[in-house]
Amino acid sequence: MFDELQQRIRDKQAVIGVVGLGYVGLPLIDAFVSRGLKAIGFDVDASKVEQLNAGRSYIRHISSERVAAWRESGAFEATADLRRLNEPDALLICVPTPLSDSRDPDLSYVEGTARSIAAVLRPGQLVVLESTTYPTTTRDVVLPILEAGGLKAGQDFYLAYSPEREDPGNPVYSAAGIPKVVGGYDAHSLALASALYSHAVVKVIPVSNMEVAEACKILENTYRAVNIALVNELKMLFDRMGIDVWEVVDAAKTKPFGFQAFYPGPGLGGHCIPIDPFYLTWLARRQGLTTRFIELAGEVNSRMPEYVIGRLADFLNDAGKPIRGSRVCVLGAAYKKDVDDPRESPSFVLMELLLARGAVLTYNDPHVARLPQTRHHNLPEMTSVELTPEFLAAQDCVLIATDHSAYDYAFIAAHAPLVLDTRNAMRNIERRENIRRA
């Protein structure tokens, strides 16, 4: 079976199955289909399946034209029928791994997917978990579920872990342009997974086991979370001292070694950075250890929305207005500039805090037309408002939460009475009394 699957992969005859057609799954399909392989996409969301089969995309950086081309070439189809999970030669699991209300890892999507695969798993298939998770998940959680039907990993089927690496909105680092770390259950699993990904990505980095690959992803995002916490804390200090933290960072990054620039913001967003460090702290507690440095970084970052609202309250107070009853428009619902991805966006927390204090809230985002419903935020149904001169002039304060390139910041500064800037988006605008940073 190993030789047969290896040959199918080598000849690009292997069919790829991607489970979870979101911000990770669709770019991964693009990477494989663009290199001449066929793919089947699986998702329990029937609306996603319907849109993709009609040649329409719901993710901004994967165009509808591209999806239509996949369909026209016969290289791709989407389905919600999980009984077909035995058709692909390789199954790549790209489902969400959120946190529970108690900030413990929620592996229900991974476990559910593994059970669906186990129900139809056939000899000779390769299964790869890509969802971000804590070390030992693939071996201790996924493996027993897959083997429950009697097939054995490394003998009847093959198992690996390869962490997703995706930078939405960055065309340089698409899924195909980012090196891929791969860890296998055994030597055969590693060889097959490495050969498979070598068709789709710029470089494959094999590591000794699945746990190293899992820990690699956690390290990457914890590194970023800790350094963002550092500059967020410095921002609060330097603001009090009248020092421009963005200018400080820009000056520091002129050093050609020993420094990497990170910038402050209103909080952390995206699926990975706000969540992954908590996987690690949870795992440490299970090992009888505490990760105080990581936990402190999480506290600093999670405190930033409160800090921003405090700055907004001061700004309004100086204008003789309380937050209660003031009209506040939040610019940006996506978690980062120029993407349509609102996952874990700090804007949701900012909006909740503003509503709790009685603000009359609106928002604008050129890439997020309607606020999505989320598990952890209780916000009313809202749609993006149009930024007209009349609308901006009627606001008491405009809060820049996401610095989309589509915004005309000079236009905003000219018409809004007050602008609170959390992203240094107004850096090229002439200094005005109606603009402050937070």
- At residue 136, what are phi and psi to the nearest 5 degrees? 95, -5
At 283 the pLDDT is 84
Q: State the pTM of this model.
A: 0.91
In a domain, 215, yes or no: no
Q: What local confidence, expressed as pLDDT, does residue 55 receive?
A: 97
Q: How far apart are CA 137 and CA 129, in angstroms?
A: 9
Mapped onto helix, strand or coil, the DSSP state of residue 47 is: helix
Q: Is residue 416 part of a domain?
A: yes
Domain closes at, from 160, 176, 208: 208
Task: Give ∠ CA 367-368-371 in degrees, rounded to 5.
Answer: 170
Render pLDDT for 256-284 as a digit per residue (tens, 0 to 9). Answer: 999 999 999 998 876 666 677 778 888 88
- Token pair 């952890």: residue: 376
Query: Which pLDDT value is given to residue 377?
Result: 83
Question: Which range has the worst mean pLDDT, 27-41, 79-93, 231-245, 291-305?
Answer: 291-305
Helix, strand, coil percent content, the chain, rounded in steps of 5: 40, 15, 45
Residues 122, 69: one domain? yes
CATH number at residue 299: 3.40.50.720
Q: Which two tokens stand for residue 237?
A: 């200090």
Please give the residue range of the domain that contains residue 252: 224-437
Contacts of 410 (CB under 8 A, 6+ apart): 429
Same domain, 194 and 244: no
DSSP state, 138? I
Positive or negative, the Cα torsion across 308, 231, 372, 56?
positive
Tell whether 147 and 84 lie within a shared domain. Answer: yes
Three-state secondary structure call for residue 220:
helix
Q: Indicate if the pLDDT at residue 60 is higher than 90.
A: no
**Residue 59 per-residue DSSP state:** B
Predicted pLDDT of residue 270? 63
Q: Region 282-287: what's the mean pLDDT? A: 86
Query: What is the per-residue pLDDT across 345-387, written as a single tens digit (0 to 9) for each?
Result: 999 999 999 999 999 999 999 999 999 987 778 899 999 999 9
Provide the token pair at 339: 């993407």
Say whether both 147 and 249 belong to one domain: no
Say yes or no: 194 and 301 in one domain: no
| 228/166 same-domain check | no
User: Structural domain tally of the chain?
Assistant: 2
Q: CA-to-CA distance for 245 and 419, rounded, in angstroms?
A: 18
Span 285-312, average pLDDT:
92
Residue 174 has what pLDDT? 78
What separation in angstroms does the CA of 78 have from each of 97, 125, 126, 198?
22, 19, 19, 24
**310 pLDDT exceeds 80?**
yes
The whole-angstrom separation of Cα 242 and Cα 309 is 19
Q: What is the pLDDT of residue 273?
A: 65
- Per-residue pLDDT tens over the stretch 165-177: 987 777 667 788 9
Residue 248: is its pLDDT beyond 80? yes
Tokens at 144, concatenated: 């027993």
Write down which residue in 150, 184, 208 finishes a domain. 208
- The sign one gets for the Cα dihedral 11, 15, 18, 24 is positive
- Using CA atoms in the order 316, 319, 320, 325, what is the torsion angle rounded to 10 degrees? -40
Percent of the chain predicted with pLDDT > 90: 82
pLDDT band at 223 (very low <50, low <70, confident <90, very high): very high
Q: Which DSSP string do the residues of 65-95 spell out, in sequence order?
A: HHHHHHHHHT-EEEE--GGGGGSSSEEEE--
Place of tokens 């909080």: 267
For residue 26, the surrounding DSSP H or E stretch is: helix 25-33
pLDDT at 274: 67
Length of the chain: 438
Residues 6 or more apart from 122 whose CB is under 8 A from it? 86, 157
Residue 204 lies in a domain: yes
pLDDT category at 415 given cuts 50, 70, 90 is: very high
Sign of the torsion formed by the C-alpha atoms of 135, 341, 178 and 80: positive
Amino acid 27 reads: P
- Residues 192-203 have a mean pLDDT of 97
Q: Which of 94, 216, 272, 397 is catalytic?
A: 272
On average, the pLDDT of the chain sits at 94
Instruction: Provide the pLDDT confidence category of residue 241 given band limits of 50, 70 and 90.
Output: very high
Would residue 20 count as lying in a domain?
yes
**From the centroid of its chain, how far is CA 203?**
22
Both 248 and 189 in one domain: the answer is no
Q: Which of 144-148, 168-172, 291-295 has the lowest mean pLDDT?
A: 168-172
Q: Angle 187-198/2-10 helices, nearest 10 degrees?
A: 10
89 belongs to a structural domain: yes
102-124 pLDDT, tens digit each: 778 899 999 999 999 999 999 99
In single-letter form, the type of residue at position 118 comes to: A
Same-domain status, 404 and 431: yes
Same domain, 88 and 62: yes
Q: Which pLDDT value is given to residue 271?
A: 61
**Domain-terminating residue out of 208, 236, 262:** 208
Average pLDDT over residues 3-13: 97
CB atoms within 10 A of CB 186: 15
pLDDT average, residue stretch 62-70: 95
pLDDT at 239: 94
User: In this predicted model, which residue has the larger pLDDT, 100 or 262?
Assistant: 262
Amino acid sitting at position 333: A
How far is 191 from 24, CA to CA, in rounded Å? Answer: 23
**Would 306 be classed as within a structural domain?**
yes
> Is-contact 103 68, C-beta < 8 A?
no
Residue 201, pLDDT > 80, answer yes
Do 158 and 236 belong together in one domain? no
Task: Assess whether 27 and 169 both reside in one domain.
Answer: yes
Predicted local confidence at residue 27, as pLDDT: 94
In a domain, 391, yes or no: yes
Residues 195 and 248 in one domain: no
Query: Cβ neighbours of residue 50 under 8 Å, at least 6 residues apart?
Result: none
For residue 94, indicate whether it is catalytic: no
| Domain membership flag for residue 327 | yes
In this predicted structure, the answer to whether residue 18 has a pLDDT above a threshold of 80 is: yes
How sure is the predictor about 286, in pLDDT bands with cuts at 50, 70 and 90? Answer: confident
